[in-house]
Structure 1
Amino acid sequence: MIIFFSLLAVVLIAATLPLVMELLIVTSALFVPRRRTQSSPSQKLGRLTVVVPAHDEELLVGRCVASLRASAGKAAQILVVAHNCTDGTAERAREAGAEVLVYNDPKAQGKGHALRTGFAAALAAGADAVAVVDADSTVSVNFVPMIHQALSEGADALQCRYEMKSTTEKGNSGLASLAFRGFTFIRPMGRDRLGLSSGILGNGFALTAKTLREVPYEAFSLVEDLEYHLHLLKAHKRVRFIEYAIVSAELPVATTAEVSQRARWEGGRIRVAKMWTLPLLREIARGRFSMVEPLMDVAGLPLAFGVSALITVSLIPLHVARIYGLLSLALVLTHVLLAAWAGPNFFRTLRLLVMAPFYILWKFRLVPRLIRASHSQAAWIRTGR
């Protein structure tokens, strides 16, 4: 029996160690003083184009464009790429004041193709930098000015704070929003504090024209943002995190839409992990130890599955396993509390944690979908509203 428990502990510790190391790195970094940045521009940023990839978003694209216009004024061009649309997305975008590029190619499925087409059009028109905002999102008023400032200070690429808000009282949605904040705010901010690349989250990021020419956008998976960030890392490019410029979207209200969205995201990450684990290990073997954190991020279990495994480790009747499990769970709790503190309604969020076991069980129901998504090619499936 001891042999069985020992083997089980080894398997579970090996499975959870990347997640634990990732959380240890990024969470502890929040207690490190902020890094100083340049206070004056080192170069003048010329033309900025905000590319808005849109697939059947006639209901929300006008709101997105209006938000961008309020932020940009005359400081940026807004280009909506209406990709394989079957509704009035292009018309609504024009009415709101955006330039529109209609791109129809049934063979080019997925957001990555829309981004590559929009980037190419922007660069051909003379853009010095591009930013990306999804058509179902809105931005803070300081969004475009802060992008201008950061790129003028010499950043190759940047990621703004990305919030996914829950608009219902459902416990699952509130916990999903909390988990998302940990992933899109706590982790990038921790990386940035350490001088690491903060990552690209697919919405609210920006790149200079020079960066795009040196690292062409050739990412077409279900998680094209993660894939492209890994290409940037391989090319020694760092993404800065801009925490005070915010892009916001809403979690799906319908359960079926939420399930589909989570399955695509996490299944896509599994696929990228299979493709990139060995290349990242080779980079580390060559002496690039800054790639350790990206490797932990790629190889780490989703938080809900990791917590389940750590609880199991804590119950194994072996002293070392219990210490590892309990310390790791304390680290997870610290990470979650920081994410809750960074969002609205801290005490209401704490009350939602009572629902965490049910949320974890709900996530386990997604496992068959995650497996299917990890084997599928990218397809742009509009999230139901």
Structure 2
Amino acid sequence: MIKNNINNINTVVFILFTAMYIYQYYYIIVVLLKNKNVKSKGKNIMNKFAVIVSARNESDVIEEFIHTVDLQDYPSDLIDVYVIADNCSDDTAQKARIAGAHVYERFDNKKVGKGYALDFLFKILRSKKTKYDGYFIFDADNLLSRNYISEMNKVFNRKYKIVTSYRNSKNYDSNWISAGYSLWFLRESKYLNYARMLLNNSCAVSGTGFLISSEIIDKNNGWKYHLLTEDIEFTIDSIINGEKIGYCNSACFYDEQPTSFKDSWNQRMRWSKGFYQVFFKYGYNLFKSIFKNKDFSCYDMFMTISPMMLISIVMILFNSSIFLYSLISNDFQTSKLAIGYVLSYFLNTYLMMYLLGLLTTITEWNRIQCKGYKKIFYTFTFPIFMFTYMPISICSIFKKVEWKQIKHNINKSIEDMELIA
């Protein structure tokens, strides 16, 4: 009886997981069969943009970011750069001014985070009645390909009020941690957002490298998103309200990934906590929108923010408990069955993550800034990086999490990245 119950519970959970996420495998097929750049339609209107960066003690990298904006093949008189020097104790503001940016300094130790900094600047711009068609949001460590703004402008002209882009890495080859991040973001760009765009579904904003219409900012009276993951909060709220987020595969930017496990732990702890916050604040309305809006994007985003990692952990703990109890009870058949499920979970998850990493590495080979043998090696460490989310997911439930700065000090230029490429 116990063995039958264990089999039934594990089988049901496996079938449910497969049924809920099988659409992401369809996304892969769509990309592989329809792998072509999405062309712009209609007139190529030259819009006026503000490029906005929230920077806290980013003096090592802020100048190179502004340099990449200066190099854009888009009319320079249609681009203004704004830097929010947010609670800085270094010379970020001075360097940004010398580099040609409009700089506003903000000091507030209570309202900490990128969302508050963005709202601070948007309120200044709106009070001055400074008019832009759209706003680019970046981090200080980003580097933009020379055609970035012109390519994003093409998608923007297709009436998308929010557009995200292809996220690459400045330091893929630093170690297995930076490679783990990088490979995940490459996979997210190519096999999630690109597929969504090809299928005319809504994409998802991921922290940095996106464009927002001024209409959205005006409607929201600035930036109203202040959870620990303000990017996914912005995404979910936009989709619930019927906005479709576009994606530009030909607009590439590079960012710096953490290299120490401590920094990685702190950052992903914030992400995990933030996803829980978004789920509890928006999950019910998002679930209702699946039926109200009749938009598959709502289901896609609901699965994105659902705490499925916790269910996986619960199943591991359940089978492990059965294993220990059966050993104590000398029920070796049941203990063998339970430990088999635990091992199969880890093996199957490792294999699935490895195959996703391998596929992404193969198709994005020429866009990954790393030596060939390292690219292969990091496909094996990618699943290990993903496994480390398990303790993070558990700890973030009980731990109070606050925003912590991750120092960026890899001072590469866009010329360096193009030379490597």
Q: Do they fold alike, i.e. is TM over 0.5?
A: yes
Question: How many equivalent pairs are there?
Answer: 377
**Aligned-pair CA distance for 1:171:** 2.7
User: For 1:132, what is the secondary structure of its paired residue?
Assistant: strand
Q: 1:180 to 1:353 in 2, by over 3 A?
A: same
Match among 219, 233, 237 for residue 214 of structure 1: 219
Normalised by the length of structure 2, the TM-score is 0.77
User: 1:338-357 residue pairs with structure 2 within 5 A?
Assistant: 338-341=359-362, 342-343=364-365, 344=368, 348-356=374-382
Q: 1:53 to 1:331 in 2, by over 3 A?
A: same
Q: 1:328 to 1:250 in 2, by over 3 A?
A: closer
Instruction: Measure, in 2, the Cα distance between the counterparts of 1:47 and 1:264.
Output: 34
Larger radius of gyration, structure 1 or 2? 2
2:306 paired residue number: 299
2:396 paired residue number: 370
Tell whether the 8 Å contact from 1:20 to 1:328 is kept in structure 2 after alignment.
Answer: no
2:403 paired residue number: 379
Greater alpha carbon shift after TM alignment, 282-291 vs 321-330: 321-330
Instruction: Measure, in 1, the Cα distance between the counterparts of 2:3 and 2:236.
Output: 41
User: 1:101-250 residue pairs with structure 2 within 5 A?
Assistant: 101-123=104-126, 124-216=129-221, 217-250=223-256
**Aligned-pair CA distance for 1:358:** 4.3
Instruction: Measure, in 2, the Cα distance between the counterparts of 1:105 and 1:173.
Output: 31
Matched, 1:335 2:347: no
Instruction: Measure, in 2, the Cα distance between the counterparts of 1:46 and 1:35.
Output: 21
Letter in 1 for 2:280: K
Letter in 2 for 1:224: E
Tell whether the 8 Å contact from 1:15 to 1:301 is kept in structure 2 after alignment.
Answer: no
Q: 1:82 to 1:324 in 2, by over 3 A?
A: closer
**Aligned-pair CA distance for 1:167:** 4.9
Instruction: Measure, in 1, the Cα distance between the counterparts of 2:195 and 2:345.
Output: 23
Q: 1:279 to 1:162 in 2, by over 3 A?
A: same
1:89 paired residue number: 92
Identity of aligned residues (%): 18
Instruction: Measure, in 1, the Cα distance between the counterparts of 2:343 and 2:292.
Output: 35
2:327 paired residue number: none
2:290 paired residue number: 284
1:55 paired residue number: 56
Tell whether the 8 Å contact from 2:61 to 2:140 is kept in structure 1 after alignment.
Answer: yes
User: For 2:43, what is the secondary structure of its paired residue?
Assistant: coil
User: 1:259-274 residue pairs with structure 2 within 5 A?
Assistant: 259-274=265-280
Tell whether the 8 Å contact from 1:18 to 1:300 is kept in structure 2 after alignment.
Answer: no
Q: Which has the higher contact order (CA 8 A, sep 6+)?
A: 1
**Aligned-pair CA distance for 1:65:** 1.1
Aligned-residue RMSD, C-alpha: 3.6
**Aligned-pair CA distance for 1:384:** 5.8
Q: 1:362 to 1:37 in 2, by over 3 A?
A: closer
User: For 1:51, what is the secondary structure of its paired residue?
Assistant: strand
Letter in 1 for 2:305: V
Deviations 1:27-56 (A, max 9, x none): 2331453585443327x4542100111111
Instruction: Measure, in 2, the Cα distance between the counterparts of 1:287 and 1:142.
Output: 35
Greater alpha carbon shift after TM alignment, 321-330 vs 13-22: 321-330
Greater alpha carbon shift after TM alignment, 179-188 vs 95-104: 179-188
Tell whether the 8 Å contact from 2:142 to 2:255 is kept in structure 1 after alignment.
Answer: yes
Instruction: Measure, in 1, the Cα distance between the counterparts of 2:136 and 2:160.
Output: 13
Deviations 1:112-139 (A, max 9, x none): 0111222333443111211111111111
Instruction: Measure, in 2, the Cα distance between the counterparts of 1:80 and 1:195.
Output: 34
Instruction: Measure, in 2, the Cα distance between the counterparts of 1:121 and 1:45.
Output: 24
Instruction: Measure, in 1, the Cα distance between the counterparts of 2:337 and 2:282.
Output: 32
1:80 paired residue number: 83
**Aligned-pair CA distance for 1:244:** 1.1
**Aligned-pair CA distance for 1:281:** 1.3
Tell whether the 8 Å contact from 2:228 to 2:271 is kept in structure 1 after alignment.
Answer: yes
Tell whether the 8 Å contact from 2:357 to 2:382 is kept in structure 1 after alignment.
Answer: no
Normalised by the length of structure 1, the TM-score is 0.84
Letter in 1 for 2:112: Q
Instruction: Measure, in 1, the Cα distance between the counterparts of 2:398 and 2:190.
Output: 28
1:67 paired residue number: 68
Letter in 2 for 1:13: F
**Aligned-pair CA distance for 1:64:** 1.0
Unaligned ranges ≥5, structure 2: 320-335, 410-421
Deviations 1:298-328 (A, max 9, x none): 116469x79x97xx9xx968xxx99999998
Instruction: Measure, in 2, the Cα distance between the counterparts of 1:78 and 1:238.
Output: 26
User: For 1:218, what is the secondary structure of its paired residue?
Assistant: coil
Tell whether the 8 Å contact from 2:168 to 2:253 is kept in structure 1 after alignment.
Answer: yes
Letter in 1 for 2:187: G
**Aligned-pair CA distance for 1:10:** 5.2
Unaligned ranges ≥5, structure 1: none
Greater alpha carbon shift after TM alignment, 129-138 vs 149-158: 149-158
Instruction: Measure, in 2, the Cα distance between the counterparts of 1:358 and 1:184.
Output: 21
**Aligned-pair CA distance for 1:249:** 0.9
